[in-house]
Structure 1
């Protein structure tokens, strides 16, 4: 029998810890600059590496070599969001949360969900680019430094970024903010999934408070659009794919110079 209350406690504890870490990371913006050998630089990689989803400390005065940067990124993702995802999935297993509540039932993992997620990801990426252009025209680009820092300079770096770090980021955040905070809470407690979509999007935005009011608003909007996709499809796969494409296409587009405002 599913212990909904116990799993809800686990999920809220993970969410609370994530928000605390995001807040501590945001405080680093006004703190002393970090040197390339300072492991506190891990805080600068605490959150997503995408344009809409960045919570970061001050960029090091002298960026380290690309390989070192990528290694830190992968380690940080594995130790933070990867561990959090493991806790959520382990908690779901122990409390017998059904896969369908998380959007992981067999129909929700099919080719149709994959295609819907891909189409939604491309559309959201276009909206992301438009929002970035508007912000840049206004002299506001909260992700510029982090994006420059994390953009790989080698083939191996791109493989690690696109094939390891960004999938883990997208997978964990969608598992928590959509699969758990919407799917599980709706199935276990009979709450409206649309109400939960709003509340989860607020939490999603607050986790990226370092971007300031404009960044919070944009992040919250992205979160609600992903939440709506989850409610309409019931598929965690669809929102993970969409989220991943938003992240990946920004890096690739910036590298290829597709952003007309890119330096």
Structure 2
């Protein structure tokens, strides 16, 4: 087997991390835009924010898009034409499409990491990849339930302290149909859990420790900070609570050296959070 190309794999890993953090910052900017606050659509009709089909803060590209009252060629004013386009966009941008978008983007990031590990001859064991047994699943489920409870407590504490915990992203992705829930629970959340654990735990801790001889606990601290910043769309409270969750998952990974355990735990935290809060 060829010698592992640790530096090349590390470069790809850090590039994927930078892209993920940049995407999180872009999502945070979109969710915090005035047009999307308080669940209102850009048109101010009171429709849910997840139905908004325009990019918040995007400048108009023409007089009609700026919403003036001059007549268009079909007898409508520019403001009326813009309203029709916005309404059409809101109708086409469904939660299912948002879920598929997340699955595709996270899946592509994950595929890049897997390809980099394969091309760079990174040993699967360095990433924590191993045989999945009933014990692995049971341990992951137990840890996932415990972390979900701790995560809920953290959100309540953040609320009590007046620390903003933005739930816009979760609300955007919460399905409104049986098909949407199927896509969420059996496609999107497994992809998210698998990719994020491969990146933040398998690569940033396991592979970096094996390839560069750095203490896994030191790497766990660094990956926890990166994990928190990667969830910037959840606001300051979300960054804090998610950072604590990431720290716990990092500790579990270091202690068990098992990627499947933390993937199962991560998936369960997300799945329980969506299903429990769907009744709010």
What is the TM-score when the length of structure 2 is the normalising length? 0.76
Aligned ranges 1:140-179 → 2 under 5 Å? 142-179=165-202
Partner of residue 114, structure 2: 89
Report if the CA contact (8 A) 1:101-1:184 is conserved.
Answer: yes
Taking a change above 3 Å as real, the CA distance of residues 117 and 207 of structure 1, as seen in their structure-2 partners, is same
Report if the CA contact (8 A) 2:100-2:188 is conserved.
Answer: yes
1:70 aligns with 2:70: no
Partner of residue 182, structure 1: 205
Report if the CA contact (8 A) 1:208-1:216 is conserved.
Answer: yes
Q: CA deviation at 1:29?
A: 3.6
1:38 aligns with 2:53: yes
Residue of structure 1 aligned with 2:249, choices 198, 206, 226: 226
Residue of structure 1 aligned with 2:151, choices 103, 125, 128: 128
Q: CA deviation at 1:32?
A: 5.8
Q: CA deviation at 1:65?
A: 5.9
Taking a change above 3 Å as real, the CA distance of residues 215 and 127 of structure 1, as seen in their structure-2 partners, is same
1:72-110 Cα shifts (integer Å, max 9, x gaps): 2113321x110000000000000100010111133xx22
Report if the CA contact (8 A) 2:30-2:55 is conserved.
Answer: no
Q: What is the aligned length?
A: 235
Partner of residue 83, structure 2: none
Q: SS state of the match for residue 153, structure 1?
A: coil
- Write the distance in 2 (CA, Å) between the matches of 1:224 and 1:113: 20
Taking a change above 3 Å as real, the CA distance of residues 8 and 148 of structure 1, as seen in their structure-2 partners, is closer
Report if the CA contact (8 A) 2:164-2:236 is conserved.
Answer: no
- Write the distance in 1 (CA, Å) between the matches of 2:93 and 2:31: 24
Structure 1 vs Structure 2 CA RMSD:
2.4
Report if the CA contact (8 A) 1:67-1:157 is conserved.
Answer: no
Taking a change above 3 Å as real, the CA distance of residues 39 and 89 of structure 1, as seen in their structure-2 partners, is farther
Report if the CA contact (8 A) 2:102-2:188 is conserved.
Answer: no
Higher mean C-alpha displacement, 84-93 vs 129-138: 129-138
Taking a change above 3 Å as real, the CA distance of residues 216 and 22 of structure 1, as seen in their structure-2 partners, is same
Partner of residue 18, structure 2: 16
Q: CA deviation at 1:134?
A: 2.5
- Write the distance in 1 (CA, Å) between the matches of 2:24 and 2:151: 22
Aligned ranges 1:98-113 → 2 under 5 Å? 98-106=123-131, 109-113=132-136
1:191 aligns with 2:206: no
Q: Report which structure shows greater RCO (CA 8 Å, sep ≥6).
A: 1
1:48-86 Cα shifts (integer Å, max 9, x gaps): xxxxxxxxxxxxx989569821122113321x1100000
- Write the distance in 1 (CA, Å) between the matches of 2:52 and 2:168: 18
1:159-202 Cα shifts (integer Å, max 9, x gaps): 11111111111111000000000000001111100000000001
Instruction: Point out where structure 2 has 5 or more consecutive residues left out of the alignment.
Output: 37-41, 43-50, 57-85
- Write the distance in 2 (CA, Å) between the matches of 1:24 and 1:144: 16
Q: CA deviation at 1:4?
A: 0.8
Report if the CA contact (8 A) 1:122-1:245 is conserved.
Answer: yes
Taking a change above 3 Å as real, the CA distance of residues 37 and 215 of structure 1, as seen in their structure-2 partners, is closer
Taking a change above 3 Å as real, the CA distance of residues 64 and 157 of structure 1, as seen in their structure-2 partners, is farther
1:242 aligns with 2:265: yes
Instruction: Point out where structure 1 has 5 or more consecutive residues left out of the alignment.
Output: 42-60, 257-261
Which one has a bigger Cα radius of gyration? 2
Q: CA deviation at 1:30?
A: 4.2
